[in-house]
């Protein structure tokens, strides 16, 4: 006979208090709610999360890659259910991206403990280190390390001043050598579930309070370099110019054109530089970075070929040299059908209105999905806004999402993943 227990219940006030506490830890003098992973304040936030985990009765540790990991022992199946998200932000970000998943997972632990209900599984909660893209261009640093995908090449990535990611990690107390070997044995993990804000307008448009994620976007990023010739802006005839800026501009428009042809596909360009930075000189060299996103790897590869061809055409027309350098493709990550099925059943049983959707934002769940059966729940974002100070999700919606997470954990503990 097991000990009697009351039904575990999510307490919205505790969620609110947790989110407010994290919102109070921001980098001084920076816009919005800024807590970048390679800044000093993020370290305080992760230590706060570790203390919360300990107070909730979990065994805690910080792994070699800066991930804060809490474990609530189960009754001894030897199997694990893992939850988690991140507490770092983009510069000028909001209060809910990532934090909802960490505070929510902690609330699941508190609700379970308070009710006296014990899971068969161990319940692990992770606050993943550096999910947002850092100034070196790498995202999901902690989750990559956890699944063994952080490489020496990653650590050698450098910013514009030539500093390396390894140096930056060391400055915030993450030993780069330890990060490289922080791969966790995940063979006991039956399932990983991440709760997150949608960061887009779909759920609000649908009038749904829960999003059931079917897959997470693939991403293909590139750097394009154009080498032309500096010439006098007033005397050089248009038809003999080798204007690298015009070739770059044509390629930026090709990104928009190619991405605009699909329903869920996206294409974005940024970090454009023309050299020399002058209006009275024909641009000698131009550079920009761009990306495509979409649910299908095949489309991403096709988009790569088309964009490279478009850039070459733009260059040839102007006798401008072109070099398009593609970073390794991040494959789209479908969520495990068994986990999605369980989450769907739970949300239905709770009577919550839900919609299935595709995530155009990347998440730690996409990294974990390559090693562990993974599912993801979304809660709505007001006006679809995110990565900005206006980012907002109502407390009622957050509480509903955490309730769905709690009941998903109970269902997964009883039934496992089918
Ligand atoms: Zn996030």
The per-residue pLDDT for range 3-13, each reduced to its tens digit, is 567 899 999 99
CATH of the domain at 63: 3.40.630.10
254 plus 153 within the same structural domain: no
Find the mean pLDDT for residues 364-381: 97
Structural domain for 357, as ranges: 12-217+332-415
Tell me whether residue 132 is annotated as binding: yes
Q: 45 and 170 in one domain?
A: yes
Q: What size, in residues, is the chain?
A: 418
Distances (CA, A) of 98 to 13, 88, 167: 18, 7, 25
Measured torsion, CA atoms of residues 398, 400, 402, 403, in degrees rounded to the nearest 10? 160
Q: Is 293 among the annotated ligand-binding positions?
A: yes
What whole-number percentage of the chain has pLDDT above 90?
A: 92
Q: Is the pLDDT score of 29 beyond 80?
A: yes
CA of 88 to the centre of ligand 1 (A): 8
Domain boundary among 326, 342, 362: 326
Is residue 397 in some structural domain? yes
Q: Taking the C-alpha atoms of 360, 132, 185 and 181 in order, what is their torsion angle to the nearest 10 degrees?
A: 140
pLDDT score of 142? 98
Instruction: Compute, in angstroms, the gap from residue 386 CA to the centroid of ligand 1.
Output: 9
Among 326, 346, 377, residue at a domain's last position? 326
Domain count within the chain? 2
Please check whether residue 7 lies inside any domain of the structure.
no
Per the domain annotation, does 388 fall within a domain? yes
Cα 363 to middle of ligand 1, angstroms: 6
- pLDDT attached to residue 158: 84
| 299-306 LR contacts (CB < 8 Å, sep 24+) | 299/262, 299/265, 300/218, 300/219, 300/220, 300/329, 300/332, 301/220, 301/329, 303/220, 303/258, 303/259, 303/265, 303/267, 304/220, 304/222, 304/329, 306/254, 306/258
* Rounded distance from Cα 55 to ligand 1 centre (Å): 25
Which whole number is the average pLDDT over 98-112? 98
| Residue 1 counted as domain residue | no
pLDDT value at residue 40: 86
Has residue 2 been placed in a domain? no
pLDDT reported for residue 59: 98
Question: Do 55 and 189 reside in the same domain of the chain?
Answer: yes
Does pLDDT of 368 surpass 80?
yes
Q: Clarify whether residues 359 and 233 are in a common domain.
A: no
Which tens digits make up the pLDDT trace of 287-335? 999 999 999 999 999 999 999 999 999 999 999 999 999 988 999 999 9
Residue carrying structure tokens 């960061």 = 199
For the cut 80, the answer to whether the pLDDT of residue 1 exceeds it is no
Together in a domain, 345 and 393: yes
Average pLDDT of span 168-194 = 96
Q: Nearest-CA neighbor of 71 among 86, 84, 88, 87?
A: 84
Q: Are residues 288 and 305 in the same domain?
A: yes
- Kindly tell me if the per-residue pLDDT of 137 is higher than 90: no
| 198 annotated to bind ligand | no
Question: Looking at residue 328, what is its pLDDT?
Answer: 86
- In this prediction, residues 345-360 reach a mean pLDDT of 96
Residue 136 pLDDT: 87
Output the CA 278–ligand 1 centroid distance in Å.
38
Residues 241 and 296 in one domain: yes
The answer to whether residue 6 sits within a structural domain is no
Are 226 and 205 in a shared domain?
A: no
What value does the mean pLDDT take over residues 243-260?
A: 98
DSSP string, 122-153: EEEEEEES--S--TTS---HHHHHHTT---HH
CATH of the domain at 281: 3.30.70.360
Q: Is the pLDDT of residue 255 over 60?
A: yes
The answer to whether 95 and 21 are in contact (CB under 8 A) is no
Query: 250 and 355 in one domain?
Result: no
Cα(156) to centroid(ligand 1), Å: 24
DSSP structure string for 225-272 = EEE----BTTTS-GGG---HHHHHHHHHHHHHHHHTTSSS-EEEEEEE
Query: 418 alpha carbon to ligand 1 midpoint, in Å?
Result: 27
- For the segment 105-120, the average pLDDT, to the nearest whole number, is 96
Domain end (from 278, 293, 326) = 326
Residues 19 and 72 in one domain: yes
Q: Average pLDDT of the chain?
A: 95
pLDDT at 206: 97
Are 93 and 233 in a shared domain? no
State the pLDDT at residue 332.
96
The answer to whether the annotation marks 280 as part of a ligand binding site is yes
Contact indicator for 56, 105 with CB cutoff of 8 Å: no
**Structure token pair of residue 312:** 């070459």
Q: Cα(109)–Cα(96) distance, rounded to whole angstroms?
A: 19
Q: Do 71 and 180 belong together in one domain?
A: yes
Residue 2 has pLDDT above 60, yes or no: no
Residue 418 pLDDT level (bands cut at 50, 70, 90): very low
């Amino acid at each position: 006979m097991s000990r009697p227990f009351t039904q575990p219940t999510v307490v919205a006030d505790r969620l609110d208090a947790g989110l407010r506490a994290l919102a109070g830890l921001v980098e001084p003098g920076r816009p919005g709610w800024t807590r970048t992973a390679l800044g000093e304040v993020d370290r305080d936030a992760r230590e706060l999360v570790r203390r919360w985990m300990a107070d909730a009765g979990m065994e805690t540790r910080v792994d070699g890659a800066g991930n804060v990991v809490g474990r609530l022992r189960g009754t001894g199946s030897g199997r694990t259910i893992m939850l988690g998200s991140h507490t770092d932000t983009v510069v000028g970000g909001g209060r809910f991206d990532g934090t909802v998943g960490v505070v929510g997972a902690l609330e699941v632990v508190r609700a379970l403990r308070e009710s006296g209900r014990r899971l068969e599984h161990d319940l692990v909660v992770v606050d993943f280190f550096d999910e947002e893209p850092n100034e070196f261009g790498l995202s999901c640093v902690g989750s990559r390390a956890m699944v063994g995908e952080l490489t020496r090449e990653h650590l050698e990535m450098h910013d514009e001043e030539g500093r390396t990611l390894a140096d930056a990690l060391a400055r915030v107390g993450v030993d780069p050598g330890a990060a490289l070997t922080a791969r966790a044995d995940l063979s006991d993990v039956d399932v990983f579930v991440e709760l997150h804000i949608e960061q887009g307008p779909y759920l609000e448009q649908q009038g749904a309070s829960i999003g059931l994620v079917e897959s997470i976007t693939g991403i293909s990023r590139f750097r394009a370099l154009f080498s032309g010739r500096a010439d006098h802006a007033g005397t050089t005839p248009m038809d003999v110019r080798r204007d690298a800026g015009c070739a770059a501009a044509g390629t930026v428009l090709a990104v928009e054109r190619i991405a605009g042809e699909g329903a869920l596909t996206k294409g974005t360009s940024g970090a454009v530089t023309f050299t020399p930075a002058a209006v009275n000189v024909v641009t000698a060299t131009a550079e920009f970075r761009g990306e495509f996103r979409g649910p299908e790897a095949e489309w991403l590869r096709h988009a790569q070929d088309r964009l490279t061809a478009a850039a070459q055409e733009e260059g040839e027309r102007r006798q401008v040299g072109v070099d398009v350098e593609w970073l390794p493709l991040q494959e789209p990550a479908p969520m495990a059908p068994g986990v999605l099925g369980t989450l769907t059943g739970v949300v239905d049983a709770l009577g919550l209105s839900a919609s299935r959707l595709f995530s155009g934002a990347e998440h730690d769940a996409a990294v974990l999905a390559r090693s562990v059966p993974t599912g993801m729940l979304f809660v709505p974002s007001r006006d679809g806004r995110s990565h900005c100070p206006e980012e907002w999700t109502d407390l009622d919606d957050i509480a509903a999402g955490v309730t769905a997470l709690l009941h998903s954990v109970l269902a997964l503990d009883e039934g496992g993943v089918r």
